Amino acid sequence: MADSDDQVSRREARSIALVTGATGAIGKAIATRIALETSYEVVLLCRNASKGQAAVDEIQRQTGNARVRYEVADLARSGSIAALAACSLFEQGASAEEIALRYSVLDLHDVYATLSYYLGQRQEMEEYLDRARQASVGARRDAERRLPVPQIRERLERYRTRTKDQPAG
């Protein structure tokens, strides 16, 4: 059964784009470009709250999209990475307690908070992740088309065989 225009509009209105490094020039440019598509809520993942708010203000001013916000998340820190990994473990059947035991940087409260956010945004997060996976597959195909991977592999194997057969000098 096809979605009605109203269902499609509601789903598009709930689309979320997560942008890392959004206080830097490249991340901010990406977030701004996505924010121009006003069907997206743009979430800037930032390490610094004041820089995050400044980036939000600038992007909202440039695009007119009021659905831009930030979340503090330092993906270089093990706690932030563990929080993202917690969602994956949860999907694999791990309990909050098991996740907290596995990632010592997260206390049980952090795990429940992370899972609560994830579950509250589950459909949007899954749609976003699906789009990201599809884009990744497309990018990989493009790269493989541009770079002759089998020929490069063959050349490396020939080189390895040649250097292995040569006596050490």
109 to each of 43, 74, 92, how far by Cα in Å? 23, 18, 20
CATH for 8-76? 3.40.50.720
Cβ distance 59 to 65 under 8 Å?
yes
DSSP codes of every residue in 94-155: --HHHHHHH-TTS-HHHHHHHHHHHHHTHHHHHHHHHHHHHHHHHHHHHHHHHTTHHHHHHH
Other beta carbons within 10 angstroms of residue 4's beta carbon come to 9
Q: Is the pLDDT of residue 168 over 70?
A: no
**78-91 and 108-120 helices cross at what angle (nearest 10)?**
60
- The per-residue pLDDT for range 42-92, each reduced to its tens digit, is 888 887 889 999 999 999 999 999 999 988 765 555 555 566 667 777 877
CA angle 67, 71, 73 (to 5 degrees): 150
Residue with tokens 């809520």: 41
What pLDDT is stored for residue 51 in this prediction?
93
What pLDDT is stored for residue 84 in this prediction?
64
Q: Alpha-carbon distance 56 to 105, whole Å?
A: 29
Q: Which residues lie closer than 8 Å to 72 by C-beta, 6 or more apart?
A: 46, 47, 48, 49, 52
User: What is the pTM for the complete model shown?
Assistant: 0.43
Cβ distance 43 to 71 under 8 Å?
yes
What pLDDT is stored for residue 48 in this prediction?
85
- The per-residue pLDDT for range 92-102, each reduced to its tens digit, is 788 989 888 87
List the domain boundaries for the chain: 8-76, 81-123
